[in-house]
Structure 1
Amino acid sequence: MKTVVVALLAALAIPPVQAADGDVTWTVRTASNSLGATRSSFGYDVSPGTTTSDAMVVANKGTEAVNLKVYTADGYTTDAGQLDLLTGDKKSKAIGAWVRPTSTAVTVAPGRTVEVPFTITVPADATPGDHVGGIVTSLTAPDKTANVNVERRLGIKIKLRVAGDLAPALAIENLDADYHDGSATVSYTIHNTGNAVQTASQAVTVSGPFGWFRADATGIVTPPELLPGESWQVKVPISNVTPALLLTATATVTPLLTDASGSTTALNPVTATATTWAFPWMITLLVAVLIALVILVVVLNRKRRARRKEREDERVREAVEQALREKDTAH
């Protein structure tokens, strides 16, 4: 029977988590201990080869006991720009491999809470930089009406910043510009080529030769936080663009790096450019007419030369025939 995940990590950011729907009767939150009392998620600065211990609290708000699976998994950014975690059947390489709950299952009685301890063991050869994932509670039950198993998950985000050289970097890739009827569309890919989680501010402009007739994009949507190695597709429309024959599109991305305290630092901006043709319709029509006239003149000239050649060939042929007749008469 197929398994469908219907409640995804509603607790990744804000504890405690309320029920995602009528069938989710439990909540999860970070434990209150020496590492923090009111944390919205788990975050640690760690060194390779070290071990850290912490705990998650599971509370049952229902009237019946819940039997939950507990596991950890690596994170990724969805196409909707949300952080999600790999499902339990997928292999993790970082958080899901380094973080281990003391138990892979927990039973919580109605109205009670249970603390689920876990340990973080960072390998000695762990890659420096940010690693993001989470710890998940999961309940799978059959849905008889749909004939599928439905997995409902609640989890809490875990972010590790492994000591070493932190090298945040973003790249703009595949920049392309297109012009049509007074509007331009600039598209590109933001690629997190560094080892830190980053988002970015963006600016996009389109201008004619020598920077004339500049038009700025407005309301550009901020990309989500991208994990190291991830990419995000951007498409920016710009209206009221002057068709100045050759347009230059410029995209500027300023990486934004958030530290453990929540402070955001803007790094050196990254810029890329692309060009596209933009002809005013009058000029386009004039060029088309001129091209048609040139083609017409060429065709007419070719026909004229062909007719002139035919007449010359005919004259030569008649002269030769006349000469031959005169020769025969002489003999």
Structure 2
Amino acid sequence: MTRFRSTTALAALVAVAGLAAGLAGAAPAVAEEAAPVSWSVTPADASGPDGRVAVEHEIDPAASVDDQFAVRNLGAEEVTFRLAAADGFTNDNGRFDILPSDQESVDSGTWITLPESVTVAPGGTAVVPFTITVPEDAQPGDHAAGITASILSTQQADGTGVGVESRVGFRVMTRVAGELAPAFSVQDVHADYRLSWNPLRPGSIDVVFDVANEGNARLAVAGVLTVAGRSIAFPAEGETPQEILPGESRTISLTVPRVWPLFAFPGEIALAPTVIDANGEPADAVPAEVAPSSTDVLVWAVPWPQLLVVAGLALLVLALLWRRGRSKRRIEALLTEAREEGRRSMAGVGQG
């Protein structure tokens, strides 16, 4: 029996079949061939790779655009690569990916026409033409797809043949001309205080929320969390803003360290997404703006360790006061008894 699985690497990377791990970001596949197969796939012009890492086009409905990509065979044997296009999405790791070959595309992955395969000599490069044709009824806005070149290999696992489809490719973004209507919402906000049970140490605040892209344009998300007198910007300095495709959402997790519990902290999540243009950059020329928004946050931070310490001290004081009162009453009882005994003794002497 043979089972199949697929691995994909996009953004014009190199894949190696026959190695336990590929180059950085590549999709490795362990194969039965004597010689490993390695290849790269990049956007190109007629002469070869042209420096692009993705294809970006703005196209009118019912119009088409011709483009090209290069498949380079880095191995020592001639290889026939299967070529395919499919709808794109962002995976759980925040990376762009495309649908596996056993799932049917329904959007811009179906707009791409290209050959079914290409054969490349060892060390050679083949330039492959493709066409993007936008349907007449396509909705305006951004549509994500990808083009891949793949091979199939087989490995044995516990006596079972496992088919591995290794795919390498690049992103194809199509912006259908028309009115852009960017929109977003903040959903599923969870704010928790992470308590330190050491009463001499502060805790931290964790805030997790989803940002959903409800419009038709790609958004780069940035903002600021303000809580407990602190401001945490996201993305952090040096990080790239998270990109959210139309119809997708992204989970953002933020931590505010070293916060002493003071029962409750009101706060705010301020978001200011930016529309990304057809080149993948924040666009001043895009005739659509996204109004910033804010969402209130309330974090309960009950100082249980400190309260337990206070309660323990209070009990200790009460115990000391009780013992002191008990000792005082005992002393008073002994003094009263001694006085009574003295009176009785004096009365006996007088009678004698």
- TM class by shorter chain equals 0.7 to 0.9
C-alpha contact 2:56 2:279 (8 A) present in aligned 1:
no
Q: Residue 24 of structure 1 contacts residue 152 of structure 1 at CA under 8 Å; is this kept in 2?
A: no
2:182 to 158, 168, 172: 168
Structural mapping, 1:254-273, within 5 Å? 254-265=272-283, 267-273=290-296
Task: Give the unaligned 5+ runs of structure 1.
Answer: 208-213, 290-331
1:183 aligns with 2:195: no
Q: Which residue of 1 aligns with 2:248?
A: 230
**Local SS of the residue matching 2:94:** coil
Mapping of 1:140-179 within 5 angstroms? 140-144=152-156, 147-179=161-193
| Correspondence for 1:121 | 133
Instruction: State the Cα RMSD in Å.
Output: 2.8
Give the deviation of 1:284 after TM superposition. Answer: 4.3
Q: 8 Å contact 1:244–1:278 — kept in the other structure? A: yes
Contact 1:192/1:227 (CA < 8 Å) preserved in 2? yes
Match of residue 135 from structure 1: 147
The more displaced of 138-147 and 183-192 is: 138-147
Equivalence for 1:41: 54
Alpha-carbon distance, 1:71 to partner = 0.8
Deviation at 1:77, TM superposition (A): 0.7
Q: What code does the residue aligned with 1:272 have?
A: T
2:146 partner letter: G
Unpaired segments ≥5 residues, structure 2: 20-35, 196-202, 284-288, 313-352
Aligned length: 277
Distance apart, 1:115 and its partner CA: 2.2
Give CA deviations for 1:263-302 in whole Å, capped at 9, x if unaligned.
424843221112232233488459989xxxxxxxxxxxxx
Q: Which amino acid aligns with 1:152?
A: S
Letter in 1 for 2:67: D
Residue 109 (structure 1) aligned to one of 121, 124, 142? 121
Alignment of 1:57-136 (within 5 A): 57-101=70-114, 103-136=115-148
Question: In 1, are the aligned partners of 2:173 and 2:278 still within 8 Å (CA)?
Answer: no
**Contact 2:222-2:242 at 8 Å conserved across structures:** no
> Which letter maps to 2:191?
A
Q: 1:196 to 1:24 in 2, by over 3 A?
A: farther
- Structure 2 equivalent of residue 217 of structure 1: 232
Q: Work out whether residues 3 and 149 of structure 1, in 8 Å CA contact, stay in contact via their aligned partners in 2.
A: yes
Q: Contact 2:220 / 2:273 at 8 angstroms: preserved in 1?
A: yes
Contact 1:172 1:270 in 2 (8 A): no
Change (3 A) 1:277 1:19: closer
Q: How does 1:5-24 map to 2 (within 5 A)?
A: 5-6=6-7, 8-10=8-10, 12=11, 14=12, 17-20=13-16, 22=19, 23-24=36-37
In structure 1, distance between residues paired with 2:136 and 2:60: 8
Aligned-residue identity in percent: 35
